Structure 1
Amino acid sequence: MRILVTGGAGFIGSAVCRHLVKDPSNFVINLDKLTYAGNLASLRSIENSHNYKFIKADICDESRVLQILQQERVEAIMHLAAESHVDRSIDGPAAFVQTNVVGTYHLLSAALTHWRLLAEENQAQFRFHHVSTDEVFGDLPFESGIFTEETPYAPSSPYSASKAASDHLVRAWGETYGLPVVLSNCSNNYGPFHFPEKLIPLVILNALEEKPLPVYGKGENVRDWLQVEDHAQALATVLTRGTVGESYNIGGNAERTNLQVVEAICDILDQVRPRAGGKKYRDLITFVPDRPGHDRRYAIDSSKIRRELGWAPSESFESGLARTVDWFLENDWWWRPIREGTYNGNRLGKLKEGAA
């Protein structure tokens, strides 16, 4: 397939591109605006592949997107371009509405025009796969409950509200105009090339630099963790085998409190990169005031994708986290320019300070 991946220079998007390019029968067109979280260094391993192409463009530029769809003879779209950091959405929600809502509208509009111009058999094969988050469902009590595909939407942050809006737009384009859409909602991802202001890389790199490891509240908030390469495989499965009009929850079945995640990272680092003087990394943990509207717990029921499409994660949280720590230890060429605010040829300033 000739597949357009929006946001393909981001964390999950770059993993999707690297995964798809492994199949020589695919041709991957990566469309990315290269905002602060987009990094072409994440695609170094495939940048010269015969079946990969990068185009710098903005999904809000509808005429440019339509031109790309037609010139590249796109047969499927995997839409991952999004603003995705909750702390940033609290401080500056306008960018999230612009990219996640307005951008998705323009992409859908261009996709619909492109799809209508295709031959009938190509129309039937075309797919628009919208990649979303479990945060659109709001949160769960600590002691019970799980998100299914039928869970009502109840977003808590400007980020999750903007993603919920984009989900609704995609479904509307499917119902009203017949655009062949599929959707997926994933739990928290982690792994190589994870942007360093997010929880797991932030803790790893702060620990290495002997900086405080900030944890919101008491660290009791729970997330379900999914290794990003497992997620990329799941997304490809949904694209090629998912039923038009359906949505699929994708989770790692690995619930952990934020404090448990931070402590697990500390314990791994104690083994592979001990601190001087026998000190423990857990000593760096610092509890900070909780952020507004902090969701208590996310938990994904991924039985539908397991049952209907035969996908299941291959990585346990323990093995995936150990691999992730090792990757960050071995690849400072990738993360150091981001920590210093210099990458993609621009001076981008300090990272957004966050916490677990």
Structure 2
Amino acid sequence: MAEEEKNVQIPRVKLGNQGFEVSKLGFGCMGLSGVYNSPISDEEGITVIKDAFNKGITFFDTADIYGANANEVLVGKALKQLPREKVQLATKFGIVKVELSGMLVKGTPEYVRSCCEASLKRLDVEYIDLYYQHRVDTSVPIEDTMGELKKLVEEGKIKYIGLSEASPDTIRRAHAVHPITAIQMEWSLWTRDIEEEIIPLCRELGIGIVPYSPLGRGFFGGKAIMESLPSNSSLATHPRFRAENLEKNRNLYTRIDNLAKKHGCTPAQLALAWILQQGDNVVPIPGTTKIKNLDDNIGSVKVNLTEEDLKEISDAVPINEVVGGRTYESMSPLSWNFANTPAKDCKVST
């Protein structure tokens, strides 16, 4: 790592208006348990998490579904070697299982509580800083799910509540029950569908935005462009990474690569700097299994972009030129634009 990148100061920001302070750059832990690559050992994973913390990243994101619970166990082991009060820990519940045919989600009050208790045990912590509903259960009124989350806040088991892939209506109704601190959504140079409605809504309500896959699942870091995908990578089935689509999307990477040279940084740093500079309340959570990529990501904090730069970068990736859907077909029906829940007084037959 270049000497200047060792001294990058990652700013601290308030995520949402409920007082939750985090590092401006977070770390997504999912990949440490395999998905895009082969899983790495717990020892290697702990080393990456500790290294991120020592370089100023204090906001770590996991979920009960990652690695079939293994990711929370790994993160819990790493936390034992870090000062707990200086770490902001986010985890998620709501995805029961993922199969080729689709994803099963659940948001009943009983399920919320059982998941929280199980996560606290796996992580071996007394509280979770930010607890998200990972996907919205469209058969359960959001008021019911939020009512139980509110109780967990009152009991001190969680500090702040988040939603992931929630519709505007769901966000508004949830926020009326208890303030939502953060919304986690896919947002990157080639996935910008939340900019029209979700982002303005979050700003109106004082909700922080946590972009997941801010590098387009590694695309803007050169994954599958500069290096071949591992044979066991789930990306092989992702619409944008399928051979015929990847070939068409390649020119988008080339454009960002050229702009990165102009700014004296890497494509990944440019793509991350673009998202980092969308607002103080925007905290992306890129993940990696490699220290060199971690250092590269942290270096994005030093890339300063003007309004003209931001527009030039956006324009280099016209959304109508991106080939392939933003997510796996099996997960599409649970995207935010389909995530309305029934009215509180409606009974849904199962």
Q: TM-score range by the shorter chain?
A: 0.3 to 0.5
TM value normalised by structure 2: 0.33
Higher relative contact order at CA 8 Å, sep ≥6: structure 1 or structure 2?
A: 2
